[in-house]
Chain A
Amino acid sequence: DAKTTQPTSMDCAEGRAANLPCNHSTISGNEYVYWYRQIHSQGPQYIIHGLKNNETNEMASLIITEDRKSSTLILPHATLRDTAVYYCIVRVLGSGNTPLVFGKGTRLSVIA
């Protein structure tokens, strides 16, 4: 799988949008971008994924650049409960689901 680069940590004021960047410059055409988060030693929680189009669900929005070399996860109105480590992962989709390979992620702190 292609590797990703994320900032080690970020702060965000409560109620503001949190924009978490991810670089995946070596992504291949058959690799999706997935975002997960882990809140204080709980199991990783799936947030969103996409291939090349922007995606939105009830949790977040995913913006993927046209060249697919980077993406941004947007939490539109961050709350204290969004404090977590956020992982950006690229994953090959092929003849069978493949495991996720986690990096170190970004530690997001939402501040009151």
Chain B
Amino acid sequence: DSGVTQTPKHLITATGQRVTLRCSPRSGDLSVYWYQQSLDQGLQFLIQYYNGEERAKGNILERFSAQQFPDLHSELNLSSLELGDSALYFCASSPQGVSHNSPLHFGNGTRLTVT
């Protein structure tokens, strides 16, 4: 158990809809990272937050947004969903500021299916 909790585990929704994925980082971790893994793309970095502020941005679509709340949990919002958004979405966390060697620890993901 990595200590990173993601909910829900599975989500099925229709095209055009909006969903919210939730991530609770490991206790004490200040950084949260979101990744998308689809069958043909591998693990793609989307966005990183540190202590409530956006720190780095990757291949995140404009239809997607994220935020990190004062209690350090994070949400990834996906809107105007398309069939191609079907994927596994992973959240990871790391302490940052404690050690620059800190590895990321991943949750077990949310499987999103858009029909």
Task: List the interface of chain A (C-beta within 8 A of B).
Answer: 32, 34, 38, 41-46, 49, 87, 93-94, 96-104
Q: Does the CB pair A97–B96 fall under 8 Å?
A: yes
**Is B48 interfacial (CB-CB < 8 Å)?**
yes
- Tell me the dominant secondary structure on chain B's binding face: strand
Is the beta-carbon distance between A44 and B101 smaller than 8 angstroms? Answer: no
Report the nearest A residue to B58, measured CB to CB: A99
Alpha-carbon separation in the docked complex, A32 to B106 (Å): 19
Say yes or no: B45 contacts A99, CB within 8 Å.
yes
Does B45 contact A101, Cβ atoms closer than 8 Å? yes
Contact B45 A100 (CB under 8 A): yes
Chain B residues proximal to chain A, CB less than 8 Å: 2, 4, 31, 33, 35, 42-45, 48, 50, 55-56, 58, 88, 90, 92, 94, 96-97, 100-109, 111
B108: chain A residues at CB < 8 Å are: 42-43
The answer on a CB contact under 8 Å between A41 and B109 is yes
Give the number of A-B contacts (CB < 8 Å). 61
Residues of B with C-beta under 8 A to A100 = 33, 45, 92, 104
28 A/B residue pairs, CB under 8 Å, sorted by A: A42-B108, A43-B4, A43-B92, A43-B107, A43-B108, A43-B109, A44-B43, A44-B106, A45-B2, A45-B106, A46-B103, A46-B104, A46-B106, A49-B101, A93-B101, A94-B100, A96-B50, A96-B55, A96-B97, A97-B31, A97-B104, A99-B56, A99-B58, A100-B92, A100-B104, A101-B45, A102-B35, A102-B42
Give Cα distance in the complex from A89 to B14, angstroms. Answer: 35
The distance in angstroms between the C-alpha atoms of A44 and B15, with both chains bound, is 28
Determine the chain B residues whose CB is within 8 A of the CB of A44 once the complex forms: 43, 90, 92, 106
Q: Which residue of A lies closest to B95 (CB)?
A: A97
Smallest Cβ-Cβ distance to A105: which chain B residue: B42
Contacts of A87 on B, CB cut-off 8 Å? 43
B90 touches A104 (CB 8 A): no
Task: Give Cα A94–Cα B97 distance, bound, in whole angstroms.
Answer: 11
Contacts A46-B104, A97-B94, A104-B42 aside, 12 further interface pairs with beta carbons under 8 A come to: A42-B108, A42-B109, A43-B107, A44-B43, A87-B43, A93-B101, A96-B50, A99-B33, A99-B58, A100-B33, A100-B92, A102-B45
